[in-house]
Amino acid sequence: MKKLLFTRDSIEIQAISQLIAKQKHRTLVLWTIDCAERLLPIFEKKYSQDKRPRVADWTQGKIKMPLAKQATLASHRAATAVVAKDPAACAVARSMGHVVGTVHVETHALGVVIYGLTALVYDNKQKDIAKLVAKECAWFYRRLLYWQNNINRVKITWAPFLLRDDVPNKEVFLRQKLKRSC
């Protein structure tokens, strides 16, 4: 990838970051899967035979960590394979690694946005990048609100650790830690 265009500190994603910190873990899992479906076509339009990033979108609440780790690493290998020639596809593949990572820990959810926005900017030839970023951030935010409001309507078998609503969202702890280190 030429350059990662956003970080945790980017002003454009602060509202999303704050909303992520308020979510149940399983809400973030479903949201990142939703985001994956928006981003994967960027990778697949040029690399349709390479299923590694798509394999990373396996989560659906059936969590086996060895498989998750393999899927994440495969997605990152796909990113490495295209990094020099296609920064948009590279960013999508990295984003898919964060989709799987979100199943493990909530702090990966923001990585889906960071890499996803980077992919969308590289893929879009618009001159008004600020307008594109605002539009895409609004989409990420609306979709997270959707999953926040509809999480209890989803009927899938969740891994027990994802059902523990009494466990604080680790994004909150990371945000506090980062604030203290500044």
91 pLDDT more than 60: yes
> Which of the pair, 54 or 121, is modelled with greater confidence?
121
Question: How does DSSP assign the chain, residue by residue?
Answer: -------TT-GGGHHHHHHHTTS-HHHHHHHHHHHHHHHHHHHHTT-TT--HHHHTT--TT---HHHHHHHHHHHHHHHHHHTTT-HHHHHHHHHHHHHHHHHH-GGGHHHHHHHHHHHHHHH---S-HHHHHHHHHHHHHHHHHHHHHHGGG---PPPGGGG-TTSPPHHHHHHHHHHHH-
Please state whether the predicted TM-score (pTM) of the whole model is above 0.75.
yes
Condensed to tens digits (0 to 9), the pLDDT of residues 11-56 reads: 999 999 999 999 999 999 999 999 999 999 999 999 988 887 876 5
Tell me the pLDDT band of 1, cut-offs 50, 70 and 90: low
When pLDDT is cut at 50, 70 and 90, the band that residue 94 belongs to is very high
